[in-house]
Amino acid sequence: MAPHEIDELISNQLPEGLLRGLVQAVFTARGLAWEECQRLARPEAENVRPWIARAHLEGFLRNVAERFPQVSATVERASNWNHTEIHAGRLILTQNSVPTPCAMVDASDFRRELAVNNGQISLLPELQEVDPSKFLVLLLHSQYRCVDPEQQEMNGHLAGSAYLAVPAKDLNGYLHRVNLFDRFPDVVRAQLPADWTDAAVVSFMGQARRIGAA
Amino acid sequence: MRIGTSGFVGARLREARDIRGQTAVGLAELTGLSRQAISQYETGRATPSPAVLDALADRLNIPVQFFTRPERDLARGTLFYRSMASTTKGARLRAEGRLSWLRDIVSYLSGHVALPPSNFPDLGLPDNPLLLSDSDIEAAADDVRRYWNMRDAPIGNMVTLLENQGAVVARDELGADSLDGLSEFAPDEGRPYIIIATDKGSPVRWRFDAAHELGHIVLHGALKPDTLTKSAEFKRIEEQAHRFAGAFLLPMTAFTDEFFAGNLDAFRPIKSKWKVSIGVIIKRARQADLISEEAERKLWINYARRGWRKKEPYDDTMEPEMPRLLRRSFELLFEHGNQSPEDVLAALALPARDIERLTGVEPGFMGTDYAPVSLLASRDPFTADPMRPPADVIRLPLRPRTR
């Protein structure tokens, strides 16, 4: 599938309002997790925060999906771990936190299974039960990183990137990426501190584009 | 022969009693008088002796001079009480009395300082508010924002906004849990008065109360006191003021942009940013049709389960919005206006503590406790002459530093 075909598929099946909502959800989940961990000592806060953010975001995904009749959300259990799937036509969307913008996710079994048709129909007999028309899209998000520790303390609650990424069927790369920050700069700006200068916003958006940067 | 008090005004005793929340029987018991005597004093059929008046003034904690002031002749506008149906008549009378005192204070200040002119729009709405639809009210809230050149952004300080437009705002304990506030558009001054009850609530709740009273001012300004007679009509105008407050604090378009999920946790940042309660956000989400009736019901259940009916997130960390206009006026008056707290107390004949509460100044601001202080002779050029008499003692009021 060519990138423009994937773009078209995403545009056709994921409403723009939902995509805007995903960006807001990523920021909000991370912000809440940051706030809720303020009472913990720093090492423990760093341990726990990603899980709290994940919990908020998984719930938000379902609530965002509720607003769009052409979309549904389910909670699936895989490997003793619940996750939310948004179903929109051929697409299945799940979320993942990644350390850097649009970094690769773990090749977990359930993701491998969901991505089996990303690219070509699998010939593996054990995966034939998977609906071949389904197509996995990942919502990948990372934390905003500041070099200055003081700035990090002030702005560490911000999401640093949000991408829709279509993994290859063996999860060893992405067939296509959509930078949601670039797509919805107004949504991103509304989430950033009001007193940030234009230069600060440009720098922030630039960090989100540095795929794979540590 | 019985000696009465010259110039005693019975209506003032009644007013004082109402404001202090005393029944005639209660005051009679406190003073050792009969209920009939209290009644006769109030109706002007008798006047108390100076000793009895002293006792009445003492029990009511009101200066004796108050009772010899002329009967109040205020031009009254329609009073809007934000209250539940359970509010007693006594509580309303007390609140109305406090509002009268507030107007006395402003009347005095207006003779010495220039208060901001009143700048509230006339939106040309029908005299009968029952003809207003919800969309009219949303539009009215937008119109007021445009009139005051406000963007669809969070309002930093609702009380300051109202004061800057010429309203007088006070925070006061009205002595009734069921009474959240009241407002009046004073027809003779062309200026709105708003009292926000602080007996209970939270900073966002008080903000909402202020916006609610603004709703009455702009939506119901043309309403005559006797126009509405049915409880359903009162309920409707309260709903309208509520709708206005929500629309004014959280405009529909901006809120629709901010809203992404019908989830209580997703509402927390909206509360932080817009300074409205999560309860108001739930209602706005339904009004904007962003959530279904069923989703709203579930949110309220979850809201109650989290204990948010009693206290919402951030209620402890947000600062209440304090009125500043009257405090600043007094500061100006005392610093540059050749007036002292004694002058104010003498002119108003109101208790210092009540003036402090109604004007939002610190306890003791109007106090008369003084510490004697004298200038040091060696530092005072006027006393360098050894033949000159020692410095006079000057008396500085003991009052806390103002912020």
Residues of B in contact with A59 (CB under 8 A): 263, 265
Average pLDDT (B178-204) is 90
CA distance A31 to A48: 14
Looking at chain A, how many residues does it have? 214
A60 close contact with B: CB closer than 8 A: yes
CA distance B48 to B53: 6
Residue A188: name the closest of A207, A210, A214 by CA. Answer: A207
DSSP collapsed to 3 states, B106-118: HHHHHCCCCCCCC
A78 close contact with B: CB closer than 8 A: no
pLDDT interval class at B258 (50, 70, 90): very high
* Domains of chain B, start order: 10-68 (1.10.260.40), 76-403 (no CATH)
pLDDT for B393 equals 45
CA distance B246 to A78: 43
Residue B203: CB atoms within 10 Å: 17
Please, are residues A155 and A169 in contact by the beta-carbon 8 Å criterion?
Answer: no
Average pLDDT (B150-161) is 96
Whether the per-residue pLDDT at B1 is higher than 80: the answer is no
Q: Which of B266, B290, B295 sits opposite A60 (nearest CB)?
A: B266
Residue A190: CB atoms within 10 Å: 16
Question: Alpha helices, DSSP H only, in B129-251?
Answer: 134-147, 158-164, 203-219, 231-249
Q: Do B265 and A25 touch (CB under 8 A)?
A: no
Please, are residues B215 and B242 in contact by the beta-carbon 8 Å criterion?
Answer: yes
Provide the sign of the torsion angle of the four alpha carbons B119, B124, B126, B127, taken in this order.
positive
Residue B133: CB atoms within 10 Å: 9
**Residue A192 DSSP symbol:** S
pLDDT interval class at B79 (50, 70, 90): confident
Take residue B251 and report the two structure tokens written for it: 């405009």
pLDDT interval class at B84 (50, 70, 90): low
Please, are residues A159 and A142 in contact by the beta-carbon 8 Å criterion?
Answer: yes
B254 close contact with A: CB closer than 8 A: no
Please, are residues B13 and B56 in contact by the beta-carbon 8 Å criterion?
Answer: yes
Cβ neighbours for B247, distance < 8 A, ≥ 6 positions apart: B137, B138, B140, B141, B142
pLDDT for B387 equals 47
B93 close contact with A: CB closer than 8 A: no
Average pLDDT (B143-166) is 96
Q: Where do the domains of chain A lie?
A: 3-207
pLDDT digit string, tens, across residues B171-182: 998 877 778 889
CB pairs under 8 A between A and B: 39
Residues of B in contact with A31 (CB under 8 A): 269
Q: Do B269 and A32 touch (CB under 8 A)?
A: yes
How large is the ipTM?
0.87
Q: Listing from the earlier edge strand, what are the strands of the sheet with B191-197?
A: B79-83, B179-186, B191-197, B168-172
CA distance A139 to A196: 26
β-bridge partners, A95: A139
**Residue A170 DSSP symbol:** T
CA distance A169 to A172: 8
Give how far A41 is from chain B: nearest CA, Å.
21
Residue B398: name the closest of B341, B318, B325 by CA. Answer: B341
Residue A131: CB atoms within 10 Å: 10
Whether the per-residue pLDDT at B403 is higher than 70: the answer is no
Q: Do A64 and B295 touch (CB under 8 A)?
A: no
Query: Is A129 in a helix, a strand, or coil?
Result: coil
The burial of B236, by beta-carbon neighbours within 10 Å (0-12 exposed, 13-18 middle, 19 or more buried), is given as: middle
Q: Are strands A91-97 and B191-197 parallel, antiparallel or unpaired?
A: unpaired
CA distance B283 to B279: 6
pLDDT digit string, tens, across residues A69-99: 999 999 988 777 899 999 999 899 999 999 9
